[in-house]
Amino acid sequence: MNLSRLAVVALGAFAAAQPVAADPAPVGAPIGGPVGSSEAAARALLDRWLAAQNQGRYDDYAALYAPGFAGVKRVGKTVKAMNRAAWLKDRKAMFKAKLEVSARDVVIAPPAAGAATGVTLTFTQTWRSGRYGDVGPKRIVLDPTNRSIVSEELLTSRPLLTETACLQALHPGASLARKRTAADDGARAITGVAVTDLGGRWACQVDVLDSGTVEVAIGILRFGKRWDLAGRLDLTYDHAPAAAEGDESTGGQVAVAPIALHASVPTIVVTRELRADGPQYAKREVTTTIYRVDGSDLVELLSWDDGGSTGEADDVTRCELEVGAKRTAGWPALTLRCTATTVQWAAGDTEPTETTSATRYRWDGSRYSE
């Protein structure tokens, strides 16, 4: 039986922009296309600057800074001006831990007429080390030869949730390196850690395998003086690989993604898929739920089920969400379109039968209702 006929929920209808730090530029990879000699030199310097940090080569990093360098360090609301010696002393301490630095949206601008400097690079920097990370626009000014840095400033920054900080928030004492929680003498294995940027907050997901069950914790975190938990959701699904050929296997997955519904209220969509596969059949049950991030809680706004089974007969339902233009108190009208497809293979009927339905939802002041 071709099990690829089984359709599951598609999130493409409400896919949102990727988090700022989701796809860091490869270390040392060329940035952009063919350029003039000054821009090529600037791009080469940026590649060396990134590589030195990501590969822990402090001496190579320090060699990129001109004798008269002046920098501005910004962490949140703290701003500090530094000369070359102070800057490199500060950075040398950071090199004791593993650094992850990336640059995207790079723009190279020529110097102003009569300026005693070279080109200016601006880009979005993502910086991680251990439990701390931040992201923001950075400006680097080069010397007239475009081979050393005379000025550097992170113009603004906001905290970035790292996988380590995410794990510690939901499972204090757990080890990301060993992929074990602190509970049950290390028997509970961490199978996944993921973070999602929600703007002012972050979604954090940790999957833990324990005796045939995957426990999924989803938390909403915001940064004050530390990362604080602002809502938590706990889900589970069975995980039992087939013991022998022909046996049933069970599994699943949980995914979190942002969904843009309200201009000022963060919302996420959580999908949980349950799977059961045998030699002549496959079953999928998918529950999709939209939550509003409300203070220290996650408030359910709308939920629906789809999925189905294949075997002697295929009975599959697939649903897609449409976001309308009409709004009530800033919340858009929603339409859920579901298509149920049935094929009776055992009866020799290979022609699919389809039934489509549309359910409209409006904002009732606290959640969505028909």
- Domain limits of the chain? 1-16+259-288+301-370, 37-159, 162-247
Residues above pLDDT 90, as percent of the chain: 66
For residue 31, what pLDDT is reported?
38
pLDDT in tens, 122-147: 999 999 998 888 899 999 999 999 99
Q: Which pTM value belongs to this model? A: 0.74
Q: Would you say residue 62 has pLDDT above 60?
A: yes
- What is the rounded CA–CA span in Å between residue 97 and residue 94? 6
Q: Which two tokens stand for residue 193?
A: 């850690």
Question: Which has the closest alpha carbon to 12: 323, 355, 357?
Answer: 323
Question: Which has the closest alpha carbon to 11: 196, 171, 247?
Answer: 196
Average pLDDT score over residue span 13-22:
34
Average pLDDT score over residue span 224-234:
90
Place 253 in a pLDDT band, splitting at 50, 70 and 90: very high
Fold classified for 162-247: Nuclear Transport Factor 2; Chain: A, (3.10.450)
Cβ(43)–Cβ(183) below 8 Å: no
Cβ(334)–Cβ(368) below 8 Å: yes
For residue 78, what pLDDT is reported?
83
A 10 A CB-CB count for 223 gives 17
In CATH terms, 37-159 corresponds, of 3.10.450.50, 3.30.460.10, 3.20.20.70, 3.70.10.10, to: 3.10.450.50
E strands in the chain: 65-75, 78-83, 100-109, 120-129, 132-142, 149-154, 158-159, 189-197, 202-210, 213-223, 227-238, 249-258, 267-278, 281-294, 297-310, 313-328, 331-344, 349-363, 368-369
Cβ(100)–Cβ(131) below 8 Å: no
| Low-confidence winner among 11-25, 74-88, 98-112, 283-297 (lowest mean pLDDT) | 11-25
For residue 184, what pLDDT is reported?
66
For residue 185, what pLDDT is reported?
65
Average pLDDT score over residue span 163-183:
89
Cα–Cα distances in angstroms (integers) from residue 316 to residues 244, 273, 354, in the given order:
27, 14, 10
37-159 and 162-247 share one fold: yes
Q: Would you say residue 21 has pLDDT above 80?
A: no
Question: Which has the closest alpha carbon to 94: 122, 60, 58?
Answer: 58
For residue 35, what pLDDT is reported?
40
Place 157 in a pLDDT band, splitting at 50, 70 and 90: confident
Query: Considering the chain, what is the average pLDDT of its residues?
Result: 87
